[in-house]
Amino acid sequence: MSDDPVAELLQRVASQDRAAFRALYHLTASKLVAVLMRILANRAEVEDALQEVFVRVWQRAGQFQPDRGGGQAWLNTVARHHALDRLRARPVGEVRRHDPDDDPLARIADPAAGVEAGLVAQGEARRIVDCLQTLDPARGSAVRGAYLQGLSYQDLATRHGLPLNTVRTWLRRGLQQLRECMER
């Protein structure tokens, strides 16, 4: 096995290897469930989404390019975008819960909730974590909440009581700073 077994399996799946597809499912499904669950927050929908993700993986494994990153990262990307597509397609009003006890931003700010703790990362992950810390805390928290939990501009506008355009300009400035920091 290479040092990236997921990438190796993906390349075999691209040539229609069903045994590799089954092995890929057993190796990665529990991670993808976690990625989907954080965004969709609904067990039944996550199971539905997981099926759809693996159908797409079978169909698109040929698009995986090992020189662009690891196999698990590619799978996470497929899963994240599928979850976001589902979330954004939900009718307005069902989009996000507004129960203050279940505010996704509040959960991110709470180290005990695991998200922040999970970002006390080593190695490769260190760079994005360090750069997020150079942003002002509200911006850093908004970027994390969007990436990990699927917060939209609309969610952020509601949360901060600001117009949509203002929130967009505000977050874009954060993204510019993040890019500059990571290119340093």
Q: Binding residues for other proteins, per CB under 8 A?
A: 18, 22, 25, 29-35, 37-38, 44, 47-48, 50-52, 54-55, 58, 68-69, 73, 76-77, 80-81, 84-85, 87-89, 92, 114, 118-121, 124-125, 127-129, 143-144, 146-148, 150-154, 156, 163-165, 168-169, 171-172, 175-176, 178-179, 182
CB of 106 to other proteins, least distance (A): 18
The distance of closest approach from Cβ of residue 83 to other proteins in the complex, given in angstroms and rounded to an integer, is: 9
With a CB cutoff of 8 Å and minimum separation 6, the contacts of 49 are 36, 40, 79, 82, 83, 86
Secondary structure element (H or E) that encloses residue 157, with its range: helix 153-160
Q: Which CB, 98 or 179, lies closer to other proteins?
A: 179
79 CB contacts (<8 Å, ≥6 apart)? 32, 35, 36, 49, 50, 53
